[in-house]
Amino acid sequence: LAQCKTSKKRLFSERNCVSHSSPQRSGGPASTEVQKQARPNVIRCGWLRKQGGFVKSWHSRWFVLRGDQLYYYKDEEETKALGAISLPGNKVSEHPTNGDEGGKFLFEVIPGRRGQRERMTANHETYLLMASTQNDMEDWVKTIRRVIWAPFGGGIFGQKLEETVRYERRFGNKLAPMLVEQCVDFIRQWGLQEEGLFRLPGQANLVKELQDAFDCGEKPSFDCNTDVHTVASLLKLYLRELPEPVVPFHNATWSWRQKW
């Protein structure tokens, strides 16, 4: 009986998880705390389609990201996973959508070792997954990438400020994330006289490349030929992706919260 209750409790917590990679921002700290209680240890869950089998057919599976493992089930009611994808040491990448594959929002978990390509498992060389929307696919990729790269200083987009600063303190007593310092220094040097700064958009493809590089633990540098609007757009994107305001909820006074 006790085992049955435990199983039901686990099912309830996972079914009530929010299928977004970052906490809901509109509900404030109270709703964030409720989410944590409703889905302990579950980072993200939701429906995805997984390619598998001899003929490479697609099957809908319920995915649960817990810790550094991505489990998949036949449906939400199942307690035994069909399998698990181990994330440490591997990579996740988006597949660009083309006109012939409209509605296919694909991403893939691949072996992360360089050199000779290795299989993920005996049955899977890679794991090819399909989301229902572009936003859902991007959120899954960001969340998985954060799990893979956060221990190495990556996955900073969507990560709490305190976690990023805590990791980067090993490289010196930083008052702000390295990305923020790098962007601000560049803008001060090259952009103060630029018309439309923070209003005009940068090069979307380059912003995406820089975001992916920082999320993978790299530290790309800017030179004098880098478009200042691109750097400004990267900084805006980083601030927009923060799960909390720049002044975190727990550092704000109760009266300040009531005003908002």
pLDDT averaged per 10 residues, the chain (length 260): 45 48 37 43 93 85 95 92 91 78 83 59 79 94 92 90 90 89 96 94 95 91 92 97 84 58
Q: Where a domain ends, among 121, 137, 152?
A: 152
Instruction: State residue 250's pLDDT score.
Output: 73
Q: Where a domain ends, among 97, 120, 152?
A: 152
Instruction: State residue 103's pLDDT score.
Output: 67
Count CB-CB contacts under 10 A for residue 242: 18
In a domain, 22, yes or no: no
pTM exceeds 0.85 for this model: no
In a domain, 12, yes or no: no
The span from the first CA to the last CA of the chain, in angstroms, equals 46
The DSSP code sequence of 134-196 is HHHHHHHHHHHHHHHHGGGT---TTS-HHHHHHHHGGGS--SS-HHHHHHHHHHHHHTTT-TT
Domain that holds residue 65: 43-152
Rounded to whole angstroms, the Cα distance separating 243 from 161 reads 9
